[in-house]
Amino acid sequence: NFSIDNENNSNEILKFLSNIFKISLKKNILFTEKLEHITKKTIREKIISYLSTEALKNRSNSFFIKFDRQELADYLFVERSALSRELSSMKKDGLIEYNKNHFTLIK
């Protein structure tokens, strides 16, 4: 004789739907953040947008990012060489300091 515990089944379904909703919400937030960065007009604006968001997330002007240069270029939809050139220019202008994937926002 096969019986299903309806209450237990309902709890499992609610838990499953809740998890799906949380995952969807998190992905939507990440997509919205990325859209905010890549819609900036210049490479510098894209970099500043991304790094500012990371500083806010880390609650510090000094933080590590999860990307290497190529991954960051791909994320921001820019050429790696142009990204590296702009990062160097921003460092020269006294806006940022960096070493590999560790960044410090100066101004």
The CATH number of residue 91's host domain is: 1.10.10.10
For the chain, the domain total comes to: 1
Give the pLDDT of residue 6: 73
Specify if 1 maps to a domain: no
What is the tally of helices (H) and strands (E) in the chain? 4, 3
pTM attached to this predicted model: 0.82
Tell me the Ramachandran region of residue 66: left when phi exceeds 0, alpha when psi lies from -120 to 50, beta otherwise.
alpha
Give the pLDDT of residue 5: 65
Give the pLDDT of residue 59: 97
Specify if 17 maps to a domain: yes
pLDDT one-digit tens code per residue, 1-58:
455 567 778 889 999 999 999 999 999 999 999 999 999 999 999 999 999 999 999 9
The whole-number average pLDDT for the span 86-94 is: 98
- CA gap 17, 98 in Å, rounded: 42
Specify if 54 maps to a domain: yes
Domain that holds residue 99: 6-105
Specify if 47 maps to a domain: yes
- At which residue do the structure tokens 């890549």 appear? 38
Of 63 and 8, the structure prediction assigns the larger pLDDT to 63
Specify if 28 maps to a domain: yes
